[in-house]
Amino acid sequence: MKTPPYIPLALVAMAVAFGGWTAEAAVIAQYDFENSANRALPSTTGANSTVSQFGVNGGTLGTTVGFSGTGNVYMRSTALTTTESGAVTAGDYLTFTVTPNTGYEFDLTSLTLLFGGSTSTGPFTVNGYLRSSLDNFATDLSLTGETYTPSGSEITYTTATADLSSLANIVHATGITFRLYVTSSIGSNDVYNDTANGAIFRADNVTLNGSIVAVPEPANLHLAWVGVGAGLLVLRFRRRCRSAA
């Protein structure tokens, strides 16, 4: 008996239609802050995407935040508040934007960064709160390792990780902007900041992971359904022939 023709017909149509609809695991954006010419530039960018420069906002005290010559981003405690609501109001955050090219979309998996700091005179605690533009920065995303207590002049870190698996189908028209709001346990009333170095929050190696997906063209989707429909019609015809026999 010959192989029923409806099976290859449907499969060929689906293969043609969805051949370009593949997910490629990738680092979509990474910032290591090592480019001395412009430390805000991304060190790695995913294919078929646009990645912004990294931004550091220190509210009204922006001169106490920036990019360090040691290859990290910093925010002095004098630029920070002690509460999340205070950080949101003041605009104390780290930020970047990624946008897939036309015809592609992002399925995100995680965001990681080194989260820590240094202090010249005594320990303090920093906290981070990750939000995105998908809900206009209204709610926190799940983030672990977002609390750290630097206790010495040597820069030390922990690894903070955000699970972003719920963020899928991000298209060119919207893209996504992340903000990491930062607070300090001593805030702007830091007696340590009477010294040259004081209490300083630092972050490094900010990495956004996910898949870059080529979205199938409507014409290909139509072809796929035509192929499936043709296969089903052949199947139905063969069953009728068998019944008549």
| Domain ranges across the chain | 1-21+216-245, 22-215
Give me the helix-helix angle, 218-244 and 6-18, nearest 10°: 170
CATH architecture group of domain 22-215: Sandwich (2.60)
Asked if residue 233 has pLDDT above 80, the reply is no
- Cβ atoms of 78 and 188 within 8 Å: the answer is yes
- Cβ atoms of 46 and 52 within 8 Å: the answer is no
> Is 0.85 surpassed by the pTM of this model?
no
Look at residue 80 in the predicted model and tell me its pLDDT.
87
Nearest 5°: CA angle at 228, between 227 and 232? 115
How far apart CA 190 and CA 184 sit, in angstroms, is: 9
pLDDT tens readout for residues 183-220: 999 876 555 444 445 789 999 999 999 998 888 765 44
> How many other β-carbons are positioned within 10 Å of the β-carbon of residue 183?
24
Look at residue 238 in the predicted model and tell me its pLDDT.
61
Token pair, residue 147, equals 């609390």
